[in-house]
Amino acid sequence: MRDVRDRPIGVFDSGLGGLTVVRELVSALPHESILYLGDTARCPYGPREPEEVRRFVLQIGTWLSSHGIKLVVIACNTATASGLALAQRVFDVPVIGVVEPGARAAVQATRNRRVGVIGTVGTIRSGAYSQAVRALDAGVTVFSAPAPKFVDIVEAGLRMDDSALESLMSQTSEVFVRPSFYELARDYLDPLKRAGIDVLVLGCTHFPLLSAAIQQVVGPNVRLISSAAETAREVRETLEARGHAAPESARPRHRFVTTGDPGEFERLGSRILGWPTGPVEAVGVEELERLITPELAALASTRSEGP
């Protein structure tokens, strides 16, 4: 049987946003192989009911497990908020989400113990960040706001411009989104600023791609927190504690699969990562749907997350 240390880490998101987590994973764990599934055909997850998102989590977790992964990273806040606890119960490998690492980084960074969080409607409505922050430090107050249109802006901005990502993002703020981006961002962020936050959690894996523009709106005194680096640290510690980390002699392979258009995923994904994804493979939504047993579907519909 294949040595568990040689197995890939499974990572998934509703689409491209989770690649911001892959970037950190590769930099923190350069010897690890990664199998990434971007569920682009069903993106966005943010407006969907938790039960539906939980079904997606179980389908994709089952697909990844059938490909011999040694650990799963749910690189999507919405899917973490709805489905992390259930996935941890169902799968026999460790499952790590992005909410708790983001909350931990925020609690460590805040000085005035007033923390802002922006995310999708699903993430904010779940209260997952407030719960995670409270579990770490009950004296911290969380001010949260949904910012669903930021997901569309990232997706549209990526598709509109062929220049390098950094210039795309500055160009996005100057040309494509202005003035509407700033109006929208102020609508989302001004109440948090007025609440006196000193850190703002980017509680959606798409949002780090807008961080320059978001920083301009919140101003230099608010520190932006993305959970990617903290998540990568947790993955490393988990693998090391279990003796499952890849050896330095390993030859890592990064494999990308999408339910959407593989050519587009390759083009946009390579720009987010800053290196070529290589050929992207396709998996059909129907194939994922077939994987879920009636027992799992029942669990997805009855199980609610939370304390």
Terminal Cα-to-Cα distance of the chain (whole angstroms): 38
* 76 annotated active-site: yes
Q: From the CB of 242, what's the least distance to ligand DGL, in Å?
A: 26
Residue by residue, DSSP assigns 143-155 as EEEE-THHHHHHH
Catalytic residue among 21, 26, 76, 87: 76
43 scored as a contact of ligand DGL (CB under 6 A):
yes
Q: From the CB of 81, what's the least distance to ligand DGL, in Å?
A: 8
Exactly one of 33, 59, 78, 226 binds ligand DGL (CB under 6 A); that residue is: 78
132 scored as a contact of ligand DGL (CB under 6 A):
no
284-295 CB burial, b ≥16 within 10 A, e <16: eeeebeeebeee
Q: From the CB of 14, what's the least distance to ligand DGL, in Å?
A: 3
Q: Which of 35, 12, 62 is nearest to 205 (CA)?
A: 12
Exactly one of 70, 206, 244, 271 binds ligand DGL (CB under 6 A); that residue is: 206
**Closer to ligand DGL by Cβ: residue 35 or 151:** 151
Q: Which residue has the tokens 């969907």?
A: 48
Q: How many residues does this entry show for the chain?
A: 307
* 204 annotated active-site: yes
151 scored as a contact of ligand DGL (CB under 6 A):
yes
Q: How many Cα atoms are found within 13 Å in the side-chain-facing hemisphere of 265? A: 29
Among 43-51, 58-66, 176-184, 267-275, the segment contacting ligand DGL (CB under 6 A) = 43-51
CB burial of residue 191 (10 Å; 0-12, 13-18, 19+): middle
Q: From the CB of 75, what's the least distance to ligand DGL, in Å?
A: 7
Instruction: Evaluate whether 7 touches 68 at the Cβ level (below 8 Å).
Output: yes
Residues with a known catalytic role: 76, 204
Site residues for ligand DGL per CB under 6 A: 13-14, 17, 43-46, 76-78, 120, 123, 151, 204-206
